[in-house]
């Protein structure tokens, strides 16, 4: 054979993979990899590439293998345990997540690539075949057991059997629940939800709800936007659920209602912090050092100004902005993601 087939990198897994994270990062930096601050590469995990850049706060799980000629993983990406990513080019943007036991690989071509946008997620046990490019844009989610194939072939094309090689593209804010199968050449527009157990064999336009095998559009002009009163009721439910979750998790807190929202005073093992929600943008500096501010809506400039006042983290709900970091704020941001609310970083 002229082309040598790539095998499982046993020596890399045994020798480099078994190094503790600090030594592994030192070894990779010696190889010329660019590795940011607070990166964690777990036991058994390996990264194999020619041009490699890993951003701040990236976490790579136990026994995970990443192999690609060009690897660009941006900030705060999380890749779960026992996953395999094996393609020619890999780009993963800020805050994206790949869960446990995801397999990304298969037949390679010079065009093989995977592009994941900001705040995307691929859930466990999914299989993606990037023989030709797969692009998943910002804020899109792929549920577990989903299958992406950019090539479909088996029987002889010269005898009339179908053979197709074509990329797959998902737009912004696409949601594929569990067990969705995507065929080669499919393009899904922005703001699309697909029903579980669907087979996508043709393009789906933006702002659609589609389901079936093969999937058909069953609703357009989707979704229906809630009014301000409905949003307020939704937010009230989320906040109450969040407080219930903290109490259930053993967090000592006191909620104090006020005219512009409420304060949650948290006391965890003697460490005091404030989580403040306000619909009024005239907000005073905090009295505690470890604190977070949640506002209904503020401009980018206002959000940044709150940080300079002394708030360690600020979330703006209606326009999905965030800046800074604190324990309480990160907990709130993670809890909001249960409801599909994700935040763009200003820092």
Is the domain of 204 the same as that of 268? no
Q: How far apart are CA 113 and CA 133, in angstroms?
A: 5
The verdict on 318 and 193 lying in the same domain is no
d(CA 309, CA 292): 12
pLDDT for 7? 78
Same domain, 163 and 216: yes
- Picking from 220, 238, 268, the residue at the C-terminal end of a domain is 220
Note whether 156 and 254 are same-domain residues: no
Question: Is residue 283 assigned to a domain?
Answer: yes
- 5, part of any domain: no
pTM: 0.93
Name residues of the chain where pLDDT drops below 50: none
Give pLDDT, residue 290. 75
Kind of pairing, strands 151-152 and 164-165?
Answer: antiparallel
Report CA-CA distances (Å) from 346 to 33, 142, 277, 322, 325: 26, 25, 19, 6, 11
Please report the pLDDT score of residue 269 as a whole number. 75
Confidence (pLDDT) at 8:
80
Residues 112 and 188 reside in one and the same domain: yes
On whether residue 246 sits in a domain, the answer given is yes
Helix, strand, coil percentages for the chain (3-state, nearest 5): 20, 35, 50
Same domain, 211 and 239: no
Measured CA to CA, the distance from residue 201 to residue 183 in angstroms comes to 5
Same domain, 85 and 120: yes
Q: How far apart are CA 92 and CA 85, in angstroms?
A: 11
Residue 178 sits in the same domain as residue 272? no
pLDDT value at position 288?
67
The whole-angstrom separation of Cα 90 and Cα 73 is: 8
Asked if 42 and 189 sit in the same domain, the reply is yes
- Closest by CA to 127, choosing from 99, 102, 94, 159, is 102
Q: Are residues 31 and 134 in the same domain?
A: yes
Confidence (pLDDT) at 179: 96
How confident is the model at residue 13, as a pLDDT? Answer: 83
d(CA 337, CA 25): 30
Structural domain contains residue 129: yes
* 2 lies in some domain: no
> Which residues form the domain of 307?
228-345
Which of 162, 191, 220 delimits the end of a domain? 220
Angstrom distance (rounded) from CA 307 to CA 293? 9
Residue 3 lies inside a defined structural domain of this protein? no
Q: CATH code at 156?
A: 2.160.10.10
Q: What is the pLDDT of residue 180?
A: 98
Cβ of 229: how many Cβ atoms within 10 Å? 8
Q: What is the pLDDT of residue 119?
A: 97
Let me know if residue 159 belongs to a domain: yes
Within a domain: 1: no
Edge-to-edge strand list for the sheet holding 199-200? 46-48, 65-67, 84-86, 103-104, 127-129, 147-149, 181-182, 199-200
Question: 166 and 76: one domain?
Answer: yes
Shared-domain flag, residues 134 and 278:
no
Which residue from 150, 188, 149 is spatially nearest to 172, judged by alpha carbons?
A: 188
User: How many domains are there within the chain?
Assistant: 2
Q: How far apart are CA 277 and CA 314, in angstroms?
A: 10
**pLDDT per position as a tens digit, 130-186:** 999 999 999 999 999 999 999 998 999 999 999 999 999 999 999 999 999 999 999
Q: How far apart are CA 127 and CA 181, in angstroms?
A: 10
Which of 192, 220, 248 finishes a domain?
A: 220
* Nearest of 269, 274, 272, 261 to residue 311 by alpha carbon: 274
């Amino acid at each position: 054979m002229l082309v040598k087939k790539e095998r499982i990198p046993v020596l890399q897994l045994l020798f480099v993979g078994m190094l503790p994270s600090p030594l592994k990062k030192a070894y990779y930096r010696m190889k010329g990899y660019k590795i940011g601050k607070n990166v964690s590469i777990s036991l058994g995990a390996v990264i194999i590439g020619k041009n490699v850049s890993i951003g701040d706060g990236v976490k790579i799980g136990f026994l995970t293998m990443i192999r690609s000629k060009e690897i660009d993983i941006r900030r705060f990406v999380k890749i779960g345990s026992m996953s395999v990513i094996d393609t020619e080019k890999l780009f993963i943007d800020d805050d994206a997540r790949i869960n446990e036991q995801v397999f990304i690989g298969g037949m390679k071509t010079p065009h093989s690539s995977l592009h994941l946008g900001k705040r995307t997620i691929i859930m466990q046990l999914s299989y993606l075949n990037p023989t030709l490019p797969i692009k998943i844009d910002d804020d899109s989610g792929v549920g577990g057991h989903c299958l992406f194939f950019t090539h479909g072939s088996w029987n002889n094309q010269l005898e009339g059997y179908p053979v197709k090689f074509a990329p797959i593209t998902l737009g912004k804010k696409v949601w594929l629940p569990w067990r969705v199968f995507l065929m080669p050449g499919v393009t899904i527009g922005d703001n699309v939800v697909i029903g579980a157990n669907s087979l996508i064999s043709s393009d789906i336009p933006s702002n659609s709800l589609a389901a079936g095998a093969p999937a058909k559009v069953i609703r357009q002009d989707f979704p229906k936007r809630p009014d301000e009163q409905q949003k307020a009721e939704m937010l009230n439910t989320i906040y109450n659920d969040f407080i219930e979750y903290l109490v259930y998790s053993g967090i000592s807190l006191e909620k104090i209602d006020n005219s512009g929202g409420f304060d949650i005073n948290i006391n965890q093992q003697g460490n005091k912090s404030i989580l403040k929600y306000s619909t009024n943008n005239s907000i005073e500096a905090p009295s505690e050092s470890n604190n977070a501010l949640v506002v209904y809506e503020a401009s980018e400039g206002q959000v940044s100004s709150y940080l300079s006042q002394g708030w360690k983290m600020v979330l703006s709900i209606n326009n999905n902005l965030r800046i800074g970091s604190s324990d309480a704020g990160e907990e709130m941001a993670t809890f909001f993601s249960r409801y599909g609310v994700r935040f763009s970083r200003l820092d």
